[in-house]
Structure 1
Amino acid sequence: MIKKILLPIEQLDPLNPVLRAANRHFPSAQIHLLHVVKLPSTNPVPLPTSSFGEYVPVMPDPTTEGRALREAEEALHALGKGEVILSGNVVQEIVSRATRGYDLILMGTAGKAGIDRLLLGSVAEGVLREAPIPVMTIRRDVDIELPDFRRVFQRGILLTDASPWAEWGEAYVKMAFADTTWQRLHVVPDETQMAMLPLSLTGIHLPIERNQEKLEEAEQHLQQTGGGEALLGDPAQVMLGRAASGEVDLLAISTRPRGLLDRFLYGPVAAQVVRESPVPVLVARLHPSE
């Protein structure tokens, strides 16, 4: 069960859709807000009046910083419990607080239009790779006032395989979301769609034969470990298709230890699932100490 949540928040507004969704999805959890006031860049810049092109550092203005902090603290205090900090490294601030008794980091995304500023580029990658606790993303454009918005996650899809981190991830999600009915799904990449790869990378068998062999292995593993569905396809497309069907409320993916993302979260697949999923996405990474 999720008891304590770290919610990095950029928009200090009571109508913030991610904050409202967090309160609806986790009504009994303690939600700790974290707002980071980023320091301006101190990289040297050319003096506009200099004929020699000298470079000088742009130093922060203490008066401006203090005013920004006070205004942010007042706005955050009106929303709930949390803290406002001044920092130039958002990822570091989020990750460094993750081990302070939190069960989950909750972050907002902007949907198909792209990932919001908090999740842009290295910030999203850094949090997903480095966070020692699971991370959940929620779309900011989902209207929680709609009648079909579910307060509690009822049905979820758990992307799995035969790896130890998938086994750990499954144990975690079933413990943390015990009231959710989980469907286990093993998606075997279709090697017939890998025509650009050299034949040596597809093994000694033809792609169709390899597909059948891997699919049978996946089905056997699922049968031995509690059941589920195995199929050929692209993991991201399959998960997004199930999410778009309206029959599930949550997607869950496990990742490898030491910050290396498994194949389900490698490259464009991760960005596509997190960005386009109409339902929340839970990313559970196996910590080296576990």
Structure 2
Amino acid sequence: MYDSVLVPTDGSDHAARVARHALGLARWFDATVHVLSVVDVSATGGVFDAGGVSPAFVERLEDDAADAIERIESMADDDRVRSAVLKGSPAPTILEYAGDHDIDLIAMGTHGRTGVSRYVTGSVTERVVRQSDVPVMTARVTDRSEWTGGYDEILLPTDGSEAAAAAIDHALAIATRTDARVHVVSVVDVTTVAGRPTILAPNDILAKFESDAETAVETVAAAVRDAGLDVVTHVRKEIPSQGLLEYVDDHDIDLVAMGTHGRTGVDRVLLGSTTERFVRRAPVPVLAVGPDADGGSN
């Protein structure tokens, strides 16, 4: 499933937090870990006069990047880590590096250090999640995002679309390694299906959407059972991102695996916007899988 994992870092605690998950996954899948720090000289130069930044200042940025990489390298207990410091705009540089090195998974913090010496990880991460051809694991520093050696409860949201199904193989591969229970959940957005945020859908229309959601959930649940894993299914009627966050809290979820796109229109939630909102607020790691991601083999 994962032969190579990329961990971009800006030296923040958020980057270090998700790095521990990435290193754990790398051990499970016997993957090589690439640790990358991007020095954005143009962004830091923009706060100075037209003369730009001095060579000494650039050297300090590069030293900071090297320190950020060393912090991640110190977490590894073997020689599976490779590192690089590159200059450029962070998101494009990260994506280009991933393509050039056949990366199978990117792991990034959702927040980071700000100021002239760092890029703002939050906006960089969202851009990478939107544009990446490979899954992106995100995490921020919370009481529940610590790496504990495995996952017991994994949440797999679905809206029945092929894009949502892109996350299934990844969720199952990870769940199999850690013998986790998988929660398959579909959230019917009672405001979206009505066409207006202040109006609820009529009961007969809502019943059809609930039926569709139940079918979608059961289809995914069957795949989970076929993989020999325990499964729990739920259909909820809420605003999707809010409903999923509540589910994470109510069921002690350790990891969420979800598609980055989904069906649109009055009969479906838009997974894309749901995923972005969810990633920003999730108290646990989130594995966002785009529609072009290769599921590989378990």
What range is the shorter-chain TM-score in?
Answer: 0.7 to 0.9
Shift of 1:171: 2.5
Structure 2: gaps of 5 or more residues = 74-81, 113-117, 223-232, 263-268
Q: TM-score, normalised by structure 2?
A: 0.72
Higher alpha-carbon deviation: 33-42 or 207-216: 33-42
2 CA distance for matches of 1:252 and 1:127?
Answer: 16
Shift of 1:59: 3.0
Whether 1:216 and 2:200 are equivalent positions in the alignment is no
Query: Residue type of the partner of 2:281?
Result: E
Contact 2:191-2:239 within 8 A present in 1 as well:
no
Contact 1:254-1:284 within 8 A present in 2 as well:
yes
Paired residue secondary structure (2:166): helix
In the other structure, the counterpart of 1:232 is 237
2 CA distance for matches of 1:254 and 1:30?
Answer: 24
> Whose helix fraction is larger, Structure 1's or Structure 2's?
2
Paired residue secondary structure (2:130): helix
2 CA distance for matches of 1:71 and 1:246?
Answer: 40
Shift of 1:250: 0.7
CA deviations on 1:159-179 (whole Å, 9 max, x unpaired) are 112211122321333235433
2 CA distance for matches of 1:251 and 1:288?
Answer: 16
Query: Residue type of the partner of 1:244?
Result: D
2 CA distance for matches of 1:166 and 1:256?
Answer: 7
In the other structure, the counterpart of 2:150 is 152
Shift of 1:131: 0.7
In the other structure, the counterpart of 1:61 is 54
Going from structure 1 to structure 2, the CA distance change for 1:279 and 1:43 (only over 3 Å counts) comes to: closer
Whether 1:102 and 2:100 are equivalent positions in the alignment is no
Contact 2:18-2:108 within 8 A present in 1 as well:
yes
Structure 1: gaps of 5 or more residues = 46-55
Query: Residue type of the partner of 1:11?
Result: G
Identity %: 24
CA RMSD between the two structures = 3.5
In the other structure, the counterpart of 1:127 is 128
Query: Residue type of the partner of 2:6?
Result: L
Query: Residue type of the partner of 1:214?
Result: F
In the other structure, the counterpart of 1:166 is 164
2 CA distance for matches of 1:237 and 1:44?
Answer: 38
Q: TM-score, normalised by structure 1?
A: 0.74
2 CA distance for matches of 1:12 and 1:192?
Answer: 37
- How many residues are paired up? 259
Shift of 1:6: 0.6
Paired residue secondary structure (1:213): helix
Q: Which entry has the higher C-alpha Rg, 1 or 2? A: 1
2 CA distance for matches of 1:119 and 1:232?
Answer: 33
Higher alpha-carbon deviation: 176-185 or 100-109: 176-185
Shift of 1:287: 1.2
2 CA distance for matches of 1:178 and 1:171?
Answer: 10
1 CA distance for matches of 2:294 and 2:47?
Answer: 41
2 CA distance for matches of 1:289 and 1:79?
Answer: 27
Which of 276, 279, 282 aligns to 2:281? It is 276
Shift of 1:288: 8.1
In the other structure, the counterpart of 2:265 is none
